[in-house]
Chain A
Amino acid sequence: MMEHVDGNAIAGPLAEFFTFDATMASGRCVGCGTVAELARAMVYRSGAGTVVRCSTCDTVLATLVESGDRAWIGLRGVTAIEVRRTPSEG
């Protein structure tokens, strides 16, 4: 079985889509309703692309494909995204 990492690992590719730090954004899983930061999700990367799964129920939250000068993201398992509007400079 392919070993997974976590949402921290795809902060870079996601910066092409979102103007905020996506690892701190929370998403709601369509499968179990869990709301969790992307950084807590399970990420499976391969040459074909990246699959993001809910760490609670394994539902596919998102898929990411990068190829040459294009990048594509699908968010089929995320029903809502929550971001903090106060700047978090860390």
Chain B
Amino acid sequence: MSDAPTAQAVAPSAAPLAVPRSGWHVATVAATHRETPNATRIELDVPGWPGNAAGQHLDVRLTAPDGYQATRSYSIASSGSSTRVVLAVDKLPDGEVSPYLVDDVRAGDMLEVHGPLGAFFVWAPAADTGDHRPVQLIAGGSGVVPLYAMAHAHADASDPTPFRLLYSVRTPDDVYFDDEFATLVDAAAPLQLDVVYTRRAPEGWATAPGRIMREALEAAVFPASERPRVFVCGSTGFVERVADWLVELGHDPRSIRTERYGGA
């Protein structure tokens, strides 16, 4: 212990759930659903939620009985004006917040959320933006969540922009939104889905499981000559490896938008 003055001036905060600051909302868990063996889909009812664009995120704040608070960011799997907000949370083994959200949260529980956040990693229909370039989505693991929101928004808008999603995932059991993607691939809006399995592939899969390499990336994405917009989301290592390869393959760095969530 040092003999530095203590922060006596800081009063203990009063009931944090009572009056959220602007941007903070009290959300009620409407439903939970096991997404994968390691992840849970959580549907929240958020009165006052202003709606969100596809690709945005929110912060979840948990407060312990002793006042200790932990805040973490999660991508939003839904978009539009609804006050029903969908998350899909992956459990980090040493996490402070995600094990609670994945294993313990039940319908009727209340959480504090702050958002919607982030205008950088978003997609909106070409009718709104005037941008008709093809869109390449590249996901590593749970990084698929905001990209799923974009693919879903694309289908909802019957947007004619060509979409491709390259999804790197450990095993077939770890695929998020499996049924939903099957529907999106068959929707009127064009979506091509390419899955790379890193640990275990389905029976009879043409490619042996393994980490995605530059050649496989090149084969599964729109070529740089088509000037696609690219959204990459996943662990920091995955995102940086992919972004470096894209630049080497001639993609314009300004057309590549990334979101790193840390983790292993």
Contacts and interface: CB of A to CB of B under 8 A. Distances in A.
Interface string A1-33: 001111111011001100001011000000000
A90 B262 CA distance: 25
Contacts, number: 81
Given A9-B73, A12-B114, A88-B119, A4 B262 contact: yes
Contacts of B123: 90
A15 B58 CA distance: 12
A12 B59 contact: yes
**Which range holds the interface residue count of chain A?**
20 to 34
Given A12-B114, A68-B10, A90-B53, A6 B59 contact: no
Nearest to B59: A12
B261 interface: yes
A24 B73 contact: no
B236 interface: yes
Contacts of B128: 89
B125 to A, nearest CB: 11
Contact of B121 (A12, A39, A67): A39
B71 A12 contact: yes
Contacts of A39: 118, 120-121, 257, 259
Contacts of A38: 120
Given A5-B262, A6-B259, A11 B122 contact: no
Contacts of A90: 53-56, 119, 122-124
A11 B118 contact: yes
Contact of B114 (A3, A9, A15, A88): A15
Interface of B: 7, 10-11, 13, 21, 23, 53-59, 71, 73, 114-115, 117-124, 128, 236, 257-263
Interface of A: 3-9, 11-12, 15-16, 21, 23-24, 37-40, 67-70, 88-90
